[in-house]
Amino acid sequence: MPEIVLLLESSPTTLILFTLLIGLMVGSFLNVVIHRLPIMMERDWQQEYQNYFHPTEVPDQPDSHPPYNLVKPDSHCPKCQHKIRAWENIPVLSWLWLRSKCSNCKTAISARYPSIELLTGLLSAWMAWHFGFGIELAGALLFTWLLIAMTFIDLDKMLLPDQLTLPLLWLGLLLNSQHIFVIPQDAIIGATAGYLSLWSVYWGFKLLTGKEGMGYGDFKLLAALGAWMGWQYLPMIILMSSFVGALAGLAILSIQGKDRAQPIPFGPYLAVAGWITFLYGERLADLYWSWLL
């Protein structure tokens, strides 16, 4: 076994620090995912529309558009197109060294980028402290990283991409087929019940009001959470996310003065409630029943 693996297994402090560094680097990549994935999806939708409704039109040449994906083009300043060099792309530190400005044109760089990097690093370290070395930590890190990406995409675009929700769902079922977090039966029922519960609410609300109360991505996200934690924790996740979402929605409406008909993304509240329940669901359930009884 490599020495680094032995060190991480034997030293919790080293494991936490190592996971923190990995989380910071992953956070930098998640910034790319959060920004580019919706754009990639929109371009794919436009291309599919073009191919379906106007198939006889001459398509663009393959080289007429530069590649745009999670790898290319290289990171650059959106104003002056200055290519971000390696030393300018160190998570959190580069933003501080550059004083939150582009090194070339001095355009301000949003604090959101280092915030997502720091958030990812801290939550990753928290998972390392909670689970310790093992397959549970590897799964928990993927679970956390996917939820972070989905949270910010939904906040920006009111969208939960299938490219993220479905891998989270299948990964939860795959891990739990080996009894990693819950038994397989609970995971399968959790995925099914998670999807159908919000699906039923969606159609009930639509039949009564003629309006859509939530998107299909919310169904898939709750199904994924059920696949990771089992059906037993779904009521807790729904109640917690609904309560926090209602409070946050009222706060946003009062502070920003938005119309009450303005849609508010539900995915972030599901993600936060799911992440907390993933770590402390049993304790929260015990507290609830002790308070109730």
**Residue 82 placed within a domain:** no
Give the DSSP letter of residue 59: P
Contact predicate 219/267, CB 8 Å: no
Token digits of residue 78: 């959106």
| Within a domain: 171 | yes
Whether 101 maps to a domain, the answer reads: no
User: Which two structure tokens, joined as six digits, stand for 17?
Assistant: 């620090």
Structural domain boundaries enclosing 203: 3-77+111-292
Task: Assess if residue 129 is contained within a domain.
Answer: yes
The answer to whether the beta carbons of residues 234 and 123 sit under 8 Å apart is no
Asked, for residue 104, whether it belongs to a domain, the answer is: no
Q: How is 146-163 classified by DSSP, letter by letter?
A: HHHHHHHHHHHHS---HH
Instruction: Tell me what pLDDT residue 104 has.
Output: 84
Whether 88 maps to a domain, the answer reads: no
Number of domains observed in the structure of the chain: 1
Each of the 293 residues of the chain gets a pLDDT tens digit; together they read 578 888 888 899 999 999 999 999 999 999 999 999 999 999 888 888 788 787 776 555 555 578 888 888 888 888 888 888 888 889 999 999 988 888 888 889 899 999 999 999 999 999 999 999 999 999 999 999 999 999 999 999 999 999 999 999 999 999 999 999 999 999 999 999 999 999 998 888 888 888 777 888 999 999 999 999 999 999 999 999 988 888 777 776 677 666 666 678 899 999 999 999 999 988 888 887 777 66
Distance CA 113, CA 180 (A): 33
Distance CA 180, CA 177 (A): 8
Residue 26, in any domain of the structure: yes
Q: Determine the distance from the C-alpha atom of residue 18 to the mean position of all C-alpha atoms in its chain, rounded to a whole number.
A: 22
Tell whether 285 is covered by a domain: yes
